[in-house]
Amino acid sequence: MQNFLPKLLAACAFALVGQQAAAAPPDLDAKITVGWGQPFDTLNPATTGNRNVGPIDANIFDTLVWLTPDFKVTPDLASSWAVSPDGLIYTFKLREDVTFHDGTPFDAAAVVANVDYITNKDTQSKISLNLMGPCASAVATSKYTVQLTCTAPYAPLLAQLGEPYMAIQSPKAIREYGKDLGLHPTGTGPFSFVSYQPGQSLVLKRNEAYKWGPAATGHTGPPDIAQITFQIVSSAQARVSQFQTGQSDVMQETPGVFWNALRKMDRYTAIEVPITGMGIFAPINAGSFPTNDIAVRKAIQYAVDKAGVIQLADAGAHPVSNTPLAKGMVDYDASLENSYPYDPAKAEATLKAAGWTKPGEFWEKDGQRLTIKISAIATSAESPLMAQAIQGYLRKVGMDANVFQMATPAWLAANIKGDMSLAALQYIAVDSDALHLWFLPDQYFNWSHYTNPTLTDLILQGQKESDPAKRFAIYAKAQKILMDEAVIMPIRQNIDLIMTTRKLTGLTWSGGGFEYFGAASMSK
């Protein structure tokens, strides 16, 4: 799952972002250009592993439910639903007026076809399959009623069905395009596919038939915008230049230094889109020397000035994160905010108390130097900067920290194998069950190489518990273990810094931070 370097908002606040007091009439012929920060691995929601594909697919496809930024589950393709008392069967009543972009009618059989496609081993689904958890069986009980059956209660399911990775694709397109499905995205969403030049641009046009959009967005009928061109501009400087010269109307992933300057200008609207989950964080490898020593892991936490890292890596444009689940998540626990304040002296004292000595520039123990390996994705603009900033703080307290810049495949392999001490990255989620992917045994993302029977039991309890208060208590305990064991170092909040022309209003996003243009307008 390539969700790497790759605020709880009121529901009323997200529907009309950038709305002016007296909005001008929309330009129904408007064609807008969006400067997009990263290329796509695929436009297929079932097989993508890329966070940046989520917002794109949110505009091409619909999901069974729509998740508001404050995680309220509301109707979308499903008009209503019910959960059996044992939590094993979810029954969805579907809309009867929906058609895919290719003319195929939407019904219960289409949902079943999508579930079968996601769960088929040949599909090699990434995010989608994980989001379904133990609820991988679907059956149509009538033309417009579908049931999902779970082998165990799975509380996160409803919210996770609202992520764009659970988008419903045309069964006809699934059959016809096979492995090339990602080049022919066919949904029921507000915009339909026109063309795609990999690594360069994606063009979408208004779905003129669109009358079934989620009511929670505050917009009815087809989009006001006639066409969207997502121009892929990986260079941050080029993306800024494109925006400032008027070649684009929207800039995604605005670099911090430009964000700080452009947000002060009246001709632009600055929008902070919160990407929820675990924020930007670093799992710390508890399975290999020297970070298999808890004293070293704790010393790392005290040694790193997170505000300083953010300043060096992105001009201080993002707030610090101090908890495993980011602010805005339902089970965020504010009591953990002060677990590891920046305190270089305490970092050194922690090492000394654990038997480390410092005969020279670096700490040693039993004849071995305290050497920290920090991995970074070489092709990312921010990842190396963040790694180098962390390196600087660790070296200040006598840790021989080194940065290894790698291509993404090598970076993945090194962290999975446990060759690295830590790596800064992001993970997107709408439910606290995200922790299971990082801290249950044998999980792909258990890059901390840490297992704890008590923690495992708590995470499994959280998956099954549907009572919000009880879930909070469970995840509070789980998060405290993670912080006490120092196997995760939260770094900063994850926010997509969006800059738009003042003429664009109504840009929204669904829970998790997936930008949605179906309710947006451009004034003339």
* Chain segment 382-427, per-residue pLDDT in tens: 999 999 999 999 999 999 999 999 998 999 999 999 999 999 999 9
Where helices occur in 329-467 by DSSP H, the ranges are: 344-353, 383-396, 408-417, 434-439, 453-464
| Residue 157 pLDDT exceeds 70 | yes
| Residue 435 pLDDT exceeds 70 | yes
DSSP-derived secondary structure for 44-60: -TTT--BTTHHHHHHHH
Share of the chain above pLDDT 90, in %: 93
Considering the domain 277-493, what is its CATH architecture? Answer: Roll (3.10)
| Residue 4 pLDDT exceeds 60 | no
Local structure of 299: helix, strand or coil: helix
| Residue 39 pLDDT exceeds 50 | yes
- The DSSP bridge pattern shows strands 137-142 and 145-149 to be antiparallel
Residues in contact with 353: Cβ distance below 8 Å, sequence separation at least 6, in sequence order: 295
**What is the average per-residue pLDDT within 107-133?**
96
Q: Which CATH number fits domain 11-273+496-522: 3.90.1150.10, 3.40.190.10, 3.30.420.40, 3.20.20.140?
A: 3.40.190.10
| Residue 1 pLDDT exceeds 50 | no
| Residue 293 pLDDT exceeds 90 | yes
Quote the tokens at residue 513: 């931070």
Question: What is the distance between the alpha carbons of residues 97 and 77, in angstroms, rounded to a whole number?
Answer: 10
**CATH 3.40.190.10 region(s) of the chain?**
11-273+496-522
pLDDT-derived band of residue 19, with 50, 70 and 90 as boundaries?
very low
Share of the chain above pLDDT 70, in %: 96
**CATH 3.10.105.10 region(s) of the chain?**
277-493
Q: Order across the sheet with 78-83: list the strands.
A: 78-83, 89-94, 145-149, 137-142
Among candidate residues 258, 259, 299, 304, the one with its CA nearest the CA of residue 281:
304
The model's pLDDT over 249-288, given as tens digits with 9 standing for 90+, comes to 999 999 999 999 999 999 999 999 999 999 999 999 999 9
> Rounded to whole angstroms, what are the CA distances from 45 to 117, 176, 428, 494?
11, 16, 15, 22
Question: What is the distance between the alpha carbons of residues 48 and 203, in angstroms, rounded to a whole number?
Answer: 19
pLDDT-derived band of residue 20, with 50, 70 and 90 as boundaries?
very low
Alpha carbon distance, N-terminus to C-terminus of the chain? 41
**What is the average per-residue pLDDT within 133-150?**
98
Quote the tokens at residue 122: 């040949």
